């Protein structure tokens, strides 16, 4: 058993906050991908108090590619987004000569009477919120499985003027009264509507974004760098060019500070992940490339993944980002809203599973360890029916769904099942020998997990049950209602085969269930048996079997993941070896439960011989639960002379 991080001990179906499990070789990041981020800036002078301010909003898109919801904190925030290396701003009245310079990375700290700009406001930061109060079954506000969520922070509906920093204690005054011909400017700090104003924005170095999981309000008396939550994602060395804004006194002046809106922004510091085909998005998340905890855009490989826009031309981009699939694969129709009961309200791409706790040998590890890294293979040999390995293995508990009572006439109570002697009352129904060369036996195994399944009710489409043999490719999230889906999902392969390639790509990127046609299951069984001789058969242990590559080879040769010629290898609907192990791992062994041992002895003179034949069978344990599954007894013995 693996002891998970405390946050992963909760039910993932109700949602988990941003978290990282990192206990090598096991790793899991439950977090959104920041696809796009923009810091919109406006600089002006308020006539109400004469002060110079920068107003700013943050906007962008999150993508939760996990099969579990991603929860905001109790204040409805996912992250605190810290901007390190913000530029300095020089405002100059070209006409009068007045000017000042302020660093947005080291803002003025002072008491201005009605408000205080303190240590917390020394730099630029903002919350990455979930504004929509609709939870759609989550335990609190958050992002639904697969959801792309466009956000603007602060919410324009609640705080349209955005956030503010006072740049200097120096005040200017607008004089817009009619002026006689002999008018003289009282001081350089008095400006007129026709004065030429220049706002120069200079970067003293590259900028860095730090995404800190939300952990309550930011303390007023602390710098934001001391916020009690370490960064989960850092995007460093984002290089923006310096720029100059030329305007007039009339444009630079405003009646008061509260009338500003994001539509009046004058510059936009924006970076976004480069567009790519859907298969590349899916592969980037499943392979972990897009879940890097640290990006360094000074490194060419990292810089190639991102696009950094010019601060002035980015102003003309849509501030809400792409709102339809024609603009981007990762789009959101409504900013700061889920609208999950509307078909096509947002892009929905589910890629990664988040296993439930406890994380046991087979049921969780395939989601925690890259499939290219089979260091977890030894856990298979601790299962209930597995053969003991040559080396000492850690103790393992059984997560087998097919444990049945040894004597069906005696009902087992919960207290008895939890007792140390419970193993003496249980047997495995359906252990399977992976050394089998019987195609029919493999086919029966592949089609043996039969039941009726249906996703939860909710979303724009009616829940449709599947009856028979099916595979859960995203077990922790497959049952969740597909909110926001643009088309019905969780279709059997017969229906997937009727879709156009474009429609298939959309559906296959969302569903966590596969139901194979009987002919495909048969073809898979044939491919397994055909590949055994070239892949290490016979197998001395389950670890050797899983390391052999047999499952990968058989899945490829049988074309299980090819529908209409479209390879779904990186999508959530694709069947992979880990899905087989999740379904059947607890049942696997490398030898049968019942087998014969024959021994023949011949006398030295050769005139006499005896043959002993034992029939040996696995029986329930009489030991404690952690040592399940390795007791045998002779159930029949024959001695023959001849």
Of the two residues 287 and 34, the one the predictor is more confident about is 34
Confidence at 622, pLDDT banded by 50, 70, 90: very low
* 3-class secondary-structure state, position 171: coil
Flag the least confident range among 159-163, 268-272, 446-450: 446-450
Does 430 have pLDDT greater than 70? no
- Domain membership of residue 583 (yes or no) is yes
The pLDDT value recorded for residue 364 is 55
- Domain membership of residue 211 (yes or no) is yes
Q: 603 and 557: one domain?
A: no
Q: 52 and 147: one domain?
A: yes
Q: 604 and 549: one domain?
A: no
The pLDDT value recorded for residue 397 is 46
Does 228 have pLDDT greater than 90? yes
- Domain membership of residue 239 (yes or no) is yes
Encode burial over 383-399: b for 16+ CB neighbours within 10 A, e otherwise: bbbbbebeeeeeebebb
The pLDDT value recorded for residue 597 is 85
- Domain membership of residue 303 (yes or no) is yes
Does 242 have pLDDT greater than 50? yes
Q: 598 and 508: one domain?
A: no
547 φ, ψ (degrees, to nearest 5): -80, -15
Mean pLDDT, the chain, whole residue set:
86
**529 - beta bridge partners?**
none
Of the two residues 415 and 514, the one the predictor is more confident about is 514
Q: Are 562 and 547 in contact (CB under 8 A)?
A: no
Task: Report CA dihedral (316, 322, 324, 330) to the nearest 10 degrees.
Answer: 160
CA distances from 362 to 129, 311, 468, 597 (A): 36, 50, 23, 31
Alpha-carbon distance of 527 to 523, in angstroms, equals 6
The pLDDT value recorded for residue 418 is 66
Confidence at 625, pLDDT banded by 50, 70, 90: very low
Does 352 have pLDDT greater than 90? no
pLDDT above 70 coverage of the chain, percent: 85
**Where among 558, 574, 589 does a domain terminate?**
589
Q: 163 and 310: one domain?
A: yes
Does 591 have pLDDT greater than 70? yes
Q: 84 and 206: one domain?
A: yes
Flag the least confident range among 46-60, 515-529, 628-642: 628-642
The pLDDT value recorded for residue 636 is 85
pLDDT average, residue stretch 432-458: 88
CA distances from 260 to 43, 122, 267, 398 (A): 10, 22, 14, 62
Confidence at 201, pLDDT banded by 50, 70, 90: very high
pLDDT average, residue stretch 20-30: 74
pLDDT average, residue stretch 542-568: 87
HSE-up of residue 28 (Cα within 13 Å, Cβ side): 29
Which helix (H) or strand (E) segment holds residue 294: the answer is: strand 294-296
**Angle at alpha carbon of residue 28, lines to 38 and 272, rounded to 5°:** 15
The pLDDT value recorded for residue 279 is 86
Q: 100 and 44: one domain?
A: yes
Q: Which residues contact 28 (CB under 8 A, 6 or more apart)?
A: 8, 20, 21, 354, 355, 367, 368
Confidence at 311, pLDDT banded by 50, 70, 90: very high
Does 393 have pLDDT greater than 50? no
- Domain membership of residue 337 (yes or no) is no
Burial class (CB in 10 A: 0-12, 13-18, 19+), 616: middle
Alpha-carbon distance of 426 to 385, in angstroms, equals 12
Does 245 have pLDDT greater than 80? yes
Span between the terminal Cα atoms of the chain, in Å: 52
Q: 607 and 507: one domain?
A: no
* Length reported for the chain: 642
Does 61 have pLDDT greater than 60? yes
pTM of the model: 0.84
Q: 86 and 203: one domain?
A: yes
The pLDDT value recorded for residue 584 is 84
Residues 203-220 pLDDT 10s: 999 999 999 999 999 999
Does 568 have pLDDT greater than 80? no
Burial class (CB in 10 A: 0-12, 13-18, 19+), 441: middle
Confidence at 402, pLDDT banded by 50, 70, 90: low
Of the two residues 396 and 112, the one the predictor is more confident about is 112
Pairing of strands 52-63, 163-166: antiparallel
Residues 85-125 pLDDT 10s: 999 999 999 999 999 999 999 999 999 888 899 999 999 99
Flag the least confident range among 171-180, 316-325, 407-416, 475-484: 407-416
The dihedral sign for the CA sequence 530, 533, 538, 543: negative
Q: 487 is in which domain, residue-wise? A: 362-385+417-589
**DSSP letter string, 23-35:** ETTEEEEE--EEE
Does 442 have pLDDT greater than 90? yes
Q: 82 and 218: one domain?
A: yes
- Domain membership of residue 516 (yes or no) is yes
The pLDDT value recorded for residue 371 is 52
Of the two residues 499 and 354, the one the predictor is more confident about is 499
Burial class (CB in 10 A: 0-12, 13-18, 19+), 581: buried
For the chain, what is the radius of gyration of the CA atoms?
A: 32
Q: Are 40 and 63 in contact (CB under 8 A)?
A: no
The pLDDT value recorded for residue 563 is 82
Biggest CA–CA distance in the chain, Å, is: 141
The pLDDT value recorded for residue 394 is 47
Confidence at 17, pLDDT banded by 50, 70, 90: very high
Q: Are 598 and 639 in contact (CB under 8 A)?
A: no
Alpha-carbon distance of 283 to 351, in angstroms, equals 9
Flag the least confident range among 256-260, 439-443, 483-487: 256-260
Confidence at 130, pLDDT banded by 50, 70, 90: very high
Does 623 have pLDDT greater than 60? no
Q: Which of 12-16, 249-253, 600-604 has the highest mean pLDDT?
A: 249-253
Residues of the chain by 3-state class (helix, strand, coil), percent to 5: 20, 30, 50
pLDDT average, residue stretch 582-609: 82
Residues 478-534 pLDDT 10s: 788 999 999 999 899 999 999 988 888 889 888 888 999 999 999 999 999 999 999
567 φ, ψ (degrees, to nearest 5): -80, 125
Of the two residues 331 and 503, the one the predictor is more confident about is 331
- Domain membership of residue 579 (yes or no) is yes
Alpha-carbon distance of 243 to 87, in angstroms, equals 10
Structure tokens of 257? 């500070």
The number of domains in the chain is 3
Q: 621 and 524: one domain?
A: no
The pLDDT value recorded for residue 543 is 86
Alpha-carbon distance of 341 to 69, in angstroms, equals 16
Of the two residues 389 and 609, the one the predictor is more confident about is 609
- Domain membership of residue 340 (yes or no) is no
Q: 216 and 194: one domain?
A: yes
């Amino acid at each position: 058993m693996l002891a998970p991080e405390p946050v992963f001990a909760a039910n993932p179906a109700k949602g988990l906050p941003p978290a990282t499990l990192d206990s090598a070789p096991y790793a899991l990041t439950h977090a959104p991908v920041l696809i796009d981020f923009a810091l919109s800036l406006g600089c002006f002078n308020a006539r109400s108090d004469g002060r110079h301010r920068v107003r700013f909003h943050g906007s962008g898109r999150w993508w939760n590619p996990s099969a579990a919801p991603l929860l905001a904190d109790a204040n409805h925030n996912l992250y605190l987004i810290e901007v390190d290396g913000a530029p300095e701003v020089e405002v100059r009245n070209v006409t009068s000569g007045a000017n000042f310079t302020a660093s947005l990375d080291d803002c003025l700290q002072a008491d201005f009477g009605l408000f205080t700009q303190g240590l917390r406001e020394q730099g630029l930061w903002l919350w990455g919120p979930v504004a929509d109060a609709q939870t759609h079954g989550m335990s609190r506000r958050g992002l639904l499985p697969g959801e792309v969520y466009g956000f603007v922070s602060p919410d324009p509906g609640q705080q349209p003027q955005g956030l503010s920093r006072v740049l200097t204690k120096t005040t200017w005054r607008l004089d817009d009264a009619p002026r006689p011909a002999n008018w003289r400017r009282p001081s350089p700090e008095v400006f007129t509507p026709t004065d030429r104003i220049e706002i120069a924005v200079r970067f003293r170095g590259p900028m860095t974004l730090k995404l800190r999981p939300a952990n309550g309000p930011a303390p007023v008396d602390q710098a934001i760098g001391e916020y009690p939550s370490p960064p989960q994602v850092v995007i460093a060395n984002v290089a923006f060019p310096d720029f100059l804004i030329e305007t007039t006194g009339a444009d630079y002046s405003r009646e008061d500070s509260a009338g500003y809106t994001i539509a009046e922004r004058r510059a936009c510091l924006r970076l976004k992940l480069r567009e790519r085909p859907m298969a590349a998005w899916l592969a980037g998340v499943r392979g972990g490339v897009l879940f890097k905890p640290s990006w360094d855009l000074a490194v060419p490989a990292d810089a190639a993944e991102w696009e950094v826009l010019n601060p002035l031309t980015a102003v003309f981009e849509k501030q809400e980002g792409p709102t339809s699939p024609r603009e981007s694969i990762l789009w959101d129709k409504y900013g700061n809203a889920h609208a999950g009961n509307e078909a096509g309200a947002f892009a929905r791409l589910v890629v990664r599973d988040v296993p439930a706790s406890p994380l046991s040998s087979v049921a969780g590890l395939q989601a925690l360890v890259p499939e290219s890294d089979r260091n977890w293979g030894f856990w298979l040999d601790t299962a209930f029916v597995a053969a003991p390995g040559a080396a000492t293995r850690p103790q393992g508990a059984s997560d087998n769904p097919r444990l049945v009572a040894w004597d069906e006439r005696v009902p087992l109570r919960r207290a008895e099942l939890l007792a140390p002697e419970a193993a003496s009352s249980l047997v495995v129904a359906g252990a399977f020998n992976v050394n089998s060369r019987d195609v029919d036996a493999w086919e029966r195994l592949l089609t043996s997990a039969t039941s009726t399944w249906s996703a939860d009710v909710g979303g724009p489409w009616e829940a449709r049950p599947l009856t028979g043999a099916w595979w859960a490719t995203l077990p922790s999230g497959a049952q969740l209602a597909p909110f926001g889906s643009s088309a019905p999902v969780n279709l059997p392969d017969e229906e997937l085969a009727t879709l156009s390639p474009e429609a298939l790509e959309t559906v296959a990127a969302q569903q966590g269930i596969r139901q194979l046609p009987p002919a495909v299951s048969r073809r898979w069984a044939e491919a397994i048996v055909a590949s055994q001789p070239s892949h290490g058969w016979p197998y001395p242990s389950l670890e050797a079997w899983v390391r052999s590559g047999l499952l990968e080879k058989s899945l490829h040769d049988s074309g299980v993941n090819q529908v209409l010629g479209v390879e779904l290898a990186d999508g959530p609907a694709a069947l992979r070896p880990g899905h087989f192990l999740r379904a059947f791992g607890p049942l696997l062994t490398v030898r049968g439960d019942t087998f014969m041992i024959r021994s023949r002895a011949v006398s030295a003179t050769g005139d006499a011989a005896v043959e002993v034949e034992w029939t040996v069978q696995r029986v329930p344990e009489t030991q404690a639960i952690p040592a399940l599954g390795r007791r045998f007894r002779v159930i029949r013995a024959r001695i023959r002379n001849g």
